[in-house]
Structure 1
Amino acid sequence: MKFEFDPKKSQSNFEKHGLTFEEAKALWNSKAVVLKARCTDEERFMMMGTIKGKIHSCIFTVRKDAIRLISVRRSHEKEERFYAQKIRND
Structure 2
Amino acid sequence: MKFEWDENKNRQNIERHDFDFNDAEEIFEGPKATFPDDRFEYTEDRYVTLGLLGDVVVYVAHTYRDEVIRLISMRKATVRERRIYEKKVFLGHGKD
TM range (shorter): over 0.9
Deviations 1:3-28 (A, max 9, x none): 11001100100000001100122111
TM-score by length of structure 1 reads 0.94
Residue number in structure 2 paired with 1:11: 11
Misfit runs of 4+, over 4 Å: none
Identical-residue share of aligned pairs (%): 29
Structure 2 gaps, min length 5: none
Aligned-partner Cα distance in 1 for 2:58–2:3: 18
Query: Which position in structure 1 is the counterpart of 2:29?
Result: 29
Q: CA deviation at 1:29?
A: 1.4
Q: Could you say what the CA RMSD is over the residues aligned between the two structures, in angstroms?
A: 1.0
- Alpha-carbon distance in 2 for matches of 1:13, 1:2: 19
Quote how far apart the aligned CAs of 1:87 are: 1.5
Match of 2:74 in 1: 72
Unaligned runs of 5+ in 1: none
SS in 2 for 1:35: strand
SS at structure 2 position matched to 1:55: strand
Partner residue of 1:86 out of 63, 88, 92: 88
